[in-house]
Amino acid sequence: MTVIRDHPWFAITEPEGGIFVIEEPLHDERVKSFLIVGEQRAVLLDTGMGVADIRTVVDALTDVPIIVVNSHAHWDHIGSNHRFDTIWIHEAESGYLQAGVGNDVLRPWFGPEHLTGQLPDGVTAETITIPPSTPTALVTDGQVIELGGRALEVLHCPGHSVGGIVLADHANGALFSTDVAYAGALYVYGTDDLPVYARSLRRLATLVPGLRAVYPSHGDSPIPPAMLPRMADALDGIGAGREPSWTDATRTGYDFDGFSVEVK
């Protein structure tokens, strides 16, 4: 893995040719955006929290045109959308972009308990917001995004969110699993979403024979492809009545080897 350069907020690495991981390691979410570069254009998969200018980072890494593809519309993935002209997202979540995100939502996420370093100059928990952005196109399941010498298939994988997608680079054996699958707490927002999420993970598990690397948007990245069928099995087991590992006032938790599931 190649470390590209130092940045006060982002950690930028190139785990393989044409794939750049842009992580925000000073926040406990450790959210990652991915710049996937082809010969003619590039996809920026998500734009992060918005507390630092990811556009300047991307422009330093490539000079081909950029398409922002949002994996979903949760705040930590759309923060710098407004810095880009071309934004694609699944139709089920396009309306969230146009609303932006207010300080009342973001302020609790930027207290000292979430940070391991300083916010960039001029950014404070008391003032941070995410401006509205406007989708310029809607992605659909099975759509292939041609970058020139690299192609990405859009896979609609609801469960974590209704319009959640992942991107598959079949030719290079890479899967960008976004918030659908990662080595951490997988969040299910309601028991009705459990079978939906399980089907999405089972779909990803069928790709394992052709995968070399799975790149999630949180936690360690990449993770072993073999984790995908274990995650699918875990959600199936919860749906079948597995006893929880713990509960609190708002969540029910299930612990597994290398990941967990929280149902809210």
| Tens-place pLDDT, residues 160-187 | 999 999 999 999 999 999 999 999 999 9
Question: Residue 6's pLDDT is what?
Answer: 76
Q: Which of 17, 89, 12, 100 is nearest to 52 (CA)?
A: 12
Residue 7 confidence (pLDDT) above 70: yes
CA pair distance 214, 228, nearest whole angstrom: 9
What is the β-pairing status of strands 252-256 and 246-247?
antiparallel
Residue 2 confidence (pLDDT) above 70: no
Instruction: Tell me the one-letter amino acid at 181.
Output: A
Phi, psi values for residue 137, rounded to 5°: -160, 155
Contact 74, 122 (CB under 8 A): no
Domains for the chain: give ranges and CATH numbers. 1-139 (3.60.15.10), 166-173+180-264 (no CATH)
Contact 259, 234 (CB under 8 A): yes
CA pair distance 72, 58, nearest whole angstrom: 20
Contact 174, 19 (CB under 8 A): yes
Structure token digits, residue 145: 């995004």
Question: Residue 33's pLDDT is what?
Answer: 99
CA pair distance 16, 110, nearest whole angstrom: 32
For 215-228, write each residue's pLDDT tens digit.
Answer: 999 999 999 999 99
For 79-107, write each residue's pLDDT tens digit.
Answer: 999 999 999 999 999 999 999 999 999 99
Contacts by 220-226, CB closer than 8 A, 24 or more apart: 220/182, 220/183, 221/21, 221/23, 221/32, 221/182, 222/15, 223/177, 223/181, 223/182, 223/183, 225/175
Q: Sorting pLDDT into bands at 50, 70 and 90, what band is 252?
A: very high
Average pLDDT on 48-69 reads: 97
Average pLDDT on 123-139 reads: 98
- 68 Cβ contact list (under 8 Å, min separation 6): 43, 44, 46, 47, 81, 84, 86, 87, 88
